[in-house]
């Protein structure tokens, strides 16, 4: 036990090396000529300038779906300018938030998303035709989902009265992040970024060392993912790894077999699939947050040891932190603050369902390009059926976990029994999220077939 404790202590010291005074002092001595010039204003300006390239590249990437850059001269430029116009419009609205119409002040996020769906409806009705104007509208509705949640944080700044000490460039750096990311804003808006911004050379040095650590971890996790692909799955096909690896099929390859999938291989693929999914998310999140920390924004990691979480709600908090924050900010709190105040349990249940259920579903609905472009429910239904079940099960699981955590407060188990309880809980969390992943439509398999696969896993088919 003492050896395990020693190894654990050494790992913790290595993990917190960026906070060691001697290491920080050495980094300062080597980088002070550079750090002294990287004032907060200059760091923000650099990210804002780099964002200008994303202003162009992001709409061009989205336009590939409708082949607009080649099919109509000037369409790409029009989409880029319109996206910027929307950004400027929302920025001005946030700065003048008290002067906005009462309905917009009361429901700024609904107003923002209502504007987006009004544009989508224009496309569905075909009012702009199928020429250049129609292509511009299609490009715009494909580009806006990337901006919507970021613009939401911008409106929140205006709603809180915190726009006075910020410039347009301060918001541009997260609206079009040069450091990368998904439709989920890593680092949230400028309010959150500013709270974690380094204001001194020492704070910047600590942030940069923490960023370098995350970038190193991203490389390690990426290599670990490659090792799993080679030794566990025997990939790529035809290589030496295919001959000497375990040859375990990926979950996507087994789910179509339904209950006929080999039982042991199916369970192994379910758990390995969860691990590889967590590793892939951690790699991308560590890269983005690592760069943010290099620029002095010492924000939280996107993924932090979710596979060691002893409860479903803790896994959810650790797995995709900024997505969880998005759902909490835009769905959980609005419902929690306004409804069912006289019934604490119903209040918590409704807010959890609004976030992990409805909000989760809506967030991913915005990324269903065929539906957004055409309004085809036939194309949407297979995805909607699957994702709805996934979100409902997730929301119920998180709510039950929250209730259990409330009941466990103040109770602890120590010694070997405590370790056993902790391991049992972690195993339960792994099993829940590994099985839940089957409901998330791996490989585009129909929902009934995936349910059949799950029933086969637990011996009911």
User: Structure tokens of 76?
Assistant: 């790409």
Picking from 453, 351, 439, 431, the residue whose alpha carbon sits closest to that of residue 393 is: 439
Question: pTM of this prediction?
Answer: 0.91
Interval 352-377: pLDDT, tens: 999 999 999 999 999 998 899 888 88
- 3-class SS of residue 183: coil
**pLDDT recorded at residue 1:** 45
Q: Give one DSSP letter per residue of 25-74, joined into a string.
A: HHHHHHHHHHHTT--HHHHHHHHHHHHHHHHHHHHHHHHGGGTHHHHSTT
**pLDDT recorded at residue 12:** 62
Phi, psi of 199, rounded to the nearest 5 degrees? -110, -5
Contacts of 310 (CB under 8 A, 6+ apart): 422, 425, 426, 429
Side-chain half-sphere CA neighbours of 246 within 13 A: 13
Mean pLDDT, range 184-206, rounded to an integer: 93
- Among the residue ranges 137-146, 201-210, 375-384, the one predicted with the least confidence is 375-384
Phi, psi of 98, rounded to the nearest 5 degrees? -60, -20
With a cut of 70, say whether residue 422 has pLDDT above it: yes
Please provide the distance, in angstroms rounded to a whole number, between the alpha carbons at the two ends of the chain: 44
For residues 212 and 294, what is the distance between their CA atoms, to the nearest angstrom? 7
Give the Å distances, CA to CA, from 181 to 54, 58, 80, 235, 298: 11, 11, 19, 28, 16
Phi, psi of 297, rounded to the nearest 5 degrees? -95, 90
**pLDDT recorded at residue 128:** 63
Interval 28-72: pLDDT, tens: 888 877 777 778 888 999 999 999 999 988 888 877 776 655 555
Interval 396-417: pLDDT, tens: 999 999 999 888 776 666 566 6
Picking from 193, 174, 207, 173, the residue whose alpha carbon sits closest to that of residue 35 is: 207
With a cut of 90, say whether residue 136 has pLDDT above it: no
**pLDDT recorded at residue 260:** 85
**pLDDT recorded at residue 22:** 83
Interval 262-305: pLDDT, tens: 889 999 999 999 999 999 999 999 999 999 999 999 999 999 99
User: Structure tokens of 140?
Assistant: 């715009």
**pLDDT recorded at residue 44:** 92
**pLDDT recorded at residue 444:** 73
**pLDDT recorded at residue 291:** 95
């Amino acid at each position: 036990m003492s050896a395990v404790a020693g190894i654990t202590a050494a790992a913790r010291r290595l993990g917190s090396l960026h906070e060691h005074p001697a290491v920080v002092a050495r980094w300062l001595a080597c980088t002070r000529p550079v750090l002294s010039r990287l004032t907060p204003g200059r760091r923000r300006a650099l990210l804002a300038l780099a964002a200008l390239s994303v202003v162009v590249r992001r709409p061009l990437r989205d336009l590939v779906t409708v082949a607009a850059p080649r099919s109509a001269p000037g369409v790409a430029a029009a989409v880029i300018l319109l996206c910027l116009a929307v950004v400027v419009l929302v920025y001005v609205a946030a700065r003048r938030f008290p002067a906005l119409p009462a309905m917009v002040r009361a429901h700024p996020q609904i107003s923002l998303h209502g504007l987006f769906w009004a544009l989508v409806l224009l496309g569905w009705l075909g009012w702009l035709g199928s020429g250049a104007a129609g292509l511009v509208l299609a490009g715009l509705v494909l580009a806006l989902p990337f901006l919507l949640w970021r613009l939401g944080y911008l409106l929140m700044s205006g709603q809180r009265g915190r726009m006075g000490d910020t410039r347009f460039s301060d918001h541009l750096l997260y609206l079009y992040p040069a450091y990368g990311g998904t439709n989920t804003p890593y680092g949230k808006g400028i309010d959150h970024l500013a709270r974690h911004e380094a204001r001194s050379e020492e704070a910047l040095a600590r942030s940069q060392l923490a960023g370098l650590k995350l970038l190193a971890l991203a490389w390690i996790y990426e290599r670990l993912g490659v090792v799993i692909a080679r030794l566990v799955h025997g990939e790529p096909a035809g290589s030496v790894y295919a001959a000497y690896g375990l040859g375990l099929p990926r979950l996507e390859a087994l789910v179509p077999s339904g209950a006929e999938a080999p039982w042991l291989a199916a369970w192994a693929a379910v758990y390995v699939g969860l691990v590889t999914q967590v590793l892939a998310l951690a790699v991308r999140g560590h890269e983005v947050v690592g760069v943010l920390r290099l620029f002095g924004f010492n924000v939280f990691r996107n993924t932090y040891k979710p596979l060691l979480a002893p409860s479903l709600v803790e896994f959810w908090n650790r797995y995709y932190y900024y997505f969880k924050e998005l759902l909490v900010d835009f769905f959980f709190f609005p419902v929690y603050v306004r409804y069912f105040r006289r019934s604490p349990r119903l209040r918590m249940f409704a807010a959890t369902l609004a976030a992990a259920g409805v909000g989760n579903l809506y967030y991913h609905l915005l990324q269903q390009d065929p539906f957004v472009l055409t309004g085809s429910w036939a194309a949407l239904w297979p995805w909607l059926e699957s994702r709805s079940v996934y979100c409902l099960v997730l929301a119920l699981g998180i709510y039950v976990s929250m209730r259990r955590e409330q009941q466990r407060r103040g109770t602890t188990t120590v010694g070997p029994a405590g370790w056993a309880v902790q391991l049992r809980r972690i195993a339960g969390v792994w099993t829940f999220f590994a099985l839940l992943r089957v409901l998330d439509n791996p490989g585009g398999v129909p929902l009934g077939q995936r349910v059949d696969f799950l029933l086969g896993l637990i011996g009911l088919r």
